[in-house]
Amino acid sequence: MKKNIINIIKFLVFFSISSFLFWYVYRGQNINELLFTLKNEVNYYWILLSLFFGLLSHISRTIRWNMLIESLGKKPRTINTFLAVMVGYFANLALPRMGEISRCGLVSKYENISFSKLVGTVVLERVLDIIMLFIFLLIALSTQFSVISHFFSNNPEVSSKLSNVFASATTLYVIGAISLIIWILRKKFKNTNLFKKLDLTFSNFMAGFRAIKELDNKWYFVFHTIFIWIMYYLMTYICFFSFGFTSHLPAIAGLTVLVMGSFGMIAPVQGGIGAWHFMVIGTLLVYLPGVANIETMSKSFALVVHGAQTAMIIILGSLSVIALPIANRKQKKLIKSKI
């Protein structure tokens, strides 16, 4: 009961933040202009194609995760890992980062694999995603530095917040204090049951995190790591052709929008709502200065693209929630018959 109340409070807090950001981005927008653009100036066939690339990225992520789990000596069914990944994306719409925990919990439940080991593999995945984002950022900076610098000069509050995240003295003090306390008390608690449980959990976590060392086909793993982000890029760039005002933008602009939007997705809000819109709209405004009605058009782009991707997650995630127990019904019966 207490856990449910805490989760509800978390949801309301993050939902309030995302709602405020969404309102802040679209405040003062003429609704009739926005609706007219959405109805008459969008080619939704390109949006559907972008969702196909998005689906390919989810499938590739499933295969890559399976490879990590298999390197631990387990062989989960692909259907279970795919459905768990989709439920994870769906869960992120409720609470930020909840998806990583939920997909590990589901695979642990249906495949009888250590939860902490699965968490280790997911953390490794996130590290790889950060590396890929950093590579894409370097490409964007080397080719579109003026665009990115112009964005931050137009939005100084964004750069100051990013700086605070990495340079907060309070954060460093807290991390240092916690580390010092753990180091001082480590001998005192070394023989307690709690310490042993935590030590086992940490060992399992590190086994999952180090799973990449045991991969049978590392190049295939690298291929999927790159492929996922190429699909993310295509999912973004192909949407440019849905609107007349973005259809002429160069391919590198799609990468810049992807990178800037990814920073919006990192924000602690459900599905990047509001934050993603802000980053993408601001980037398009830099690329298209002086274009008539550009602010409304940019807001329409962000609304359609993010809305379509979110709708896909809601549909596939909901279906996955229903499909998981059905897909494992025969497996449960088989286990019961053996018992």
Sequential DSSP letters for 23-80? HHHHTT--HHHHHHHHHHS--HHHHHHHHHHHHHHHHHHHHHHHHHHHTTT----HHH
- Sequence-distant (6+) residues with CB within 8 A of 94 are 11, 270
Residue 138 is assigned to a structural domain of this protein: yes
Distance CA(295)–CA(281), nearest Å, equals: 8
Give me the count of residues in the chain.
339
User: Quick check: helix, strand or coil at residue 251?
Assistant: helix
Cα angle 164, 165, 170; round to 5: 75
Residue 197 is assigned to a structural domain of this protein: no
Looking at residue 284, its pLDDT comes to: 93
pTM here is 0.82
Residue 171 is assigned to a structural domain of this protein: no
Picking from 298, 312, 311, the residue whose alpha carbon sits closest to that of residue 41 is: 298
Write the pLDDT tens digit of every residue in 182-221: 566 656 666 655 555 655 565 666 766 677 887 888 999 9
Sequential DSSP letters for 145-174? HHHHHHHHHH-HHHHHHHHHHHH-HHHHHH
- As for how many domains the chain has, the answer is 1
| Positions in the chain short of pLDDT 70 | 1-30, 157-205, 207-209, 330-339
Residue 303 is assigned to a structural domain of this protein: yes
Residue 32 is assigned to a structural domain of this protein: no
Residue 221 is assigned to a structural domain of this protein: yes
Distances (CA, A) of 183 to 170, 189, 262: 20, 11, 36
Distance CA(18)–CA(261), nearest Å, equals: 15
Residue 77 is assigned to a structural domain of this protein: yes
Residue 2 is assigned to a structural domain of this protein: no
Distance CA(92)–CA(316), nearest Å, equals: 13
Domain residue limits at 315? 38-162+209-332
Q: The dihedral of CA 213, 219, 223, 224: what is its sign?
A: negative
| DSSP 8-state secondary structure symbol assigned to residue 211 | G
Check if the beta carbon of residue 301 is closer than 8 Å to that of residue 243: yes
First to last CA, the chain: 34
